[in-house]
Chain A
Amino acid sequence: MIFTEAGTSNELYKIFYYMPISMLAKLDTDYLWGFLDRQIAGFIDNWRIQKEDVAVTLLRTLAVKLSPRAFLEALKKPRSGTKSKPRLYLLVDKLDGYNFTAYVNIVWEAWRNTNYSKLNPAVNHAMDVSGNAPALLPYKSNEMIGFHHDNASVDLNKSHTKIDVEVDLEVPGIIKKASFSRLGKLTITEEKGIVRETENYSYDPFAPLVIINEINPHFIFKDQSGGAGEFTILPAFVLFAREEGAFWSNSALAAEYAVDLLTTFTGIGSILKAGRIFKLLKSGKSILFMSKNATTATGYALKSKGIIEITSGVGNTLLKLTGANKTEAGKAVSEYLFYLELLSMGGELTEAFQRVLKNAAYKAAKSSDEIIEILEKTDDAVKKYTDDLTRLGKLQDAALNLSIDTYYALIHLWETAGIIVRNFEQFTDQVKLALMEFNIQIFDVLTRDIDEFFNILFPRYSLSMDGALEKVIIYNDEVLFAGTKKQFNEFAKKVNEAAKKGRGELKKLVDDTWKYFDIMPASQKAYKKSRSLEKTYATGAKVDFEKKVKYLNKVERKEYEIFIQRDKVIDKNGNLFNTKNCKSIDKSGATITSNKAIFVMSETGEIFISKLDEFGVFHHSSFLSGEKIAAAGEIIIEEGIIKYVNNKSGHYMPLIDNVKDNLLLELYQRDYFVGGFNIKEEIIFKSEF
């Protein structure tokens, strides 16, 4: 499914959204960064797919795949091929809410495992011993909830990766006081006291900071592994990250507090807390932005209305779904939502707002029994889809006995499950999580067996016209069998049949392979066949013909080799490959012009393409001097993008599965997205040579 349907970026997002990290980690590192780079180049929308979640998943994958140091260094770089701000800061701009928090924690976790976190300038070069970036930063917060600084402002100097911090300090010093005597004489007295000073520091984003907060040690970004110490060591980057979020503290954190009140009582919070609050925060952010630009009150109210329409969806859909919108509890929740929305319009939490919000929360909380009932009704709604889940479960059992069909069924199932999750946003997060876990379980099955799966179902067999014998190598190059093409085709049919029945059958078949072939050296039958062909050659025609065919040597064939770069096919000079105006000269001398070129792939995965083939002069066999191939056929490429592939090669006569498995696997391993082109079987009556 993935490999044959046309790929769009939305499909890719869909795949990445539900793909577990263990699978994603199999993709090439540059490809993952490239995907992320494309994402953070613009606005990350969450239409249809939570694309911010995808960005975070990619980050988690990269954090797992790379060493912590390599991961952090890559984050400090701009988007590949550009002079953009470092990825580190672009991600701060693009991610919001829980994704933002997750992002900071991923970076923090990686940071903790590098020398960057060591408070030792000998091993940590990010530390500045000149005093321009002290590790001990006096930092204050009077917030009851959250990590908010009152005495410092943080800025990002866009010309470099450093973070600039301006801190107001209250330090012991000498206070000078001037006084005049009655005669008008100026007297200056000095006394010890507290003076305010402003310091400007410049930090490497990963320089370690020691934060002390005597008033409130319970930071949102408290280092979980740091225990309950009196100070927290964190990367300077977190300061900047929090600066971005500091604006929220006035209205949002107070609102979050109110929501907490409600959710603690009712357990309904997963929707409200994760969904509503962060969307609310986004609204607030937009409003702030607009007010900065002196937008008129009417203007931003209208704009906010748009945002509210989006945010009102989740909670109210739940209420309607359960019919609770008519109950007292439902009304209370509605009222609460209404005030939250009103709050998001105003952008400020005034005293009046606090009061109505708390009242509404209290009212809702008072009806907690009813709200629990609502939740139960939600569960009923969920049960409506349990049939689907049961079906999925059965398929999962089937996965234990993998076959090709089951594999595709699983892919389909994976997509279906994804659709269910996507279409029912009103489900609780627990339900969503259960569905996600279910998907992950399916993929675990696939991942666990994936090597064996490929080894058994898609052996990298190869065919060669070595004399009269076709050789077939099966099962990881370990067992060598030889036989005629007919024998091989018969065996391939059996493989397909067995694959449908299950893995057990397939294994049995592989074990019995020898029954279908003449084990080397050639049996009497194969020998007879070879003698017969030799006789035919000896009569002249084919021998003469073959002598004319150009066989390329290793240097010559390099001219025809193609490569994959950034998801595109390029030639040896780095130009995007095109197969326009390919020429094929037939035996009668007529020249056929088309957009199809001939290609072969060697056993070691090199791919060669020629835009010219000529009867008796240049054929598929020319590239590798008639040696073994892993795939061969015709190909259409437009501006570096593969549009079509077939198995049309009279010389090798590869099976279409041969092309699918070997070529696609090779392209996939080279990070080419193999979902965007058609693969067609061509049955050739008689071979070329």
Chain B
Amino acid sequence: MENKRIIDVLHGVLFQISTVKIQKVSDFYEGIDFIDVSTLKHEVVKEEKLVLDWILENPNINYAEIYEEELDNHELIRYIKIYLENLDYKNKQFELGNYILSKNDFLI
């Protein structure tokens, strides 16, 4: 996998995120009103899924070196797993036509 692709995807995945706070999918919906997925860019989602799956298959690479920032590999892998779970959830809801997602969806 090219470093450029890894950097690009990691950048989007970690955008304005406090990863330590994300322990389960519903944590992505904490402290916000709702997320509108009607404008989801499928090509971006597809690329993210591809690269992140590859990272999960290659957990021993030092991603901090590639990304040029202080990353804890273990923490990154943990976070990516939950991120992918959320990505699948968003895709599924999109297909079902449920575009507005909120914390309430996880209450049951």
Contact = CB atoms under 8 A, between A and B. Distances in A.
A594 B29 CA distance: 10
A587 interface: yes
A545 B8 contact: yes
A589 B99 CA distance: 12
B85 interface: no
Given A587-B48, A684-B16, 11 more contacts: A541-B4, A541-B8, A585-B39, A586-B15, A587-B44, A590-B36, A590-B40, A592-B36, A685-B19, A686-B69, A686-B71
Contact of A686 (B4, B14, B31, B45): B14
Nearest to B29: A592
Interface residues of A, number: 34
Given A594-B31, A686-B69, A589 B4 contact: no
Nearest to A542: B7
B16 A688 contact: yes
A533 B12 CA distance: 18
Interface in A576-605: 581, 584-596
A589 B17 contact: no
27 contacts: A486-B70, A536-B68, A539-B3, A540-B4, A541-B4, A581-B33, A586-B12, A587-B13, A588-B12, A590-B37, A590-B39, A592-B32, A592-B35, A592-B36, A593-B32, A594-B32, A595-B33, A615-B15, A650-B14, A650-B16, A682-B18, A683-B18, A684-B14, A684-B16, A684-B17, A685-B76, A686-B10
Interface string B36-79: 11011100110010000000000000000001111100011001
Nearest to B48: A588
Contact of B68 (A533, A585, A615, A683): A533
Contact of B15 (A540, A587, A594): A587
Interface of A: 486, 532-533, 536, 539-542, 545, 581, 584-596, 615, 648, 650, 682-689
A650 B41 CA distance: 23
B11 interface: yes
Contacts of B90: 588, 590
Contacts of A684: 14, 16-18
B106 to A, nearest CB: 16
B39 A589 contact: yes
Contacts of A545: 8, 11
Given A532-B68, A541-B8, A686-B10, A594 B16 contact: no
A682 B18 CA distance: 7
Contacts of B15: 586-587, 615, 650, 686, 688
A615 B8 CA distance: 12
Interface residues on B, range: 35 or more
Contacts of A648: 16, 18
B35 A593 contact: yes
A683 B21 CA distance: 9
Contacts of A588: 12, 40-41, 44-45, 48, 87, 90
A685 B68 contact: no
A595 B39 CA distance: 20
Nearest to A686: B14
Contact of A685 (B8, B18, B39, B45): B18
A615 B17 CA distance: 12
Contacts of B69: 686-687
Contacts of B87: 588
A615 B15 CA distance: 8
Contacts of B96: none
B33 A593 contact: yes
Contacts of B37: 590
A486 B68 CA distance: 12
Contacts of B14: 650, 684-686
A683 B22 CA distance: 12
Contact of A589 (B18, B33, B41): B41
Given A615-B12, A684-B17, A593 B7 contact: no
B62 to A, nearest CB: 15
B6 to A, nearest CB: 9
Listed from nearest, the 10 A-B pairs whose CB atoms lie closest are: A587-B12, A686-B14, A589-B41, A594-B32, A685-B19, A541-B8, A591-B36, A593-B33, A589-B39, A541-B4
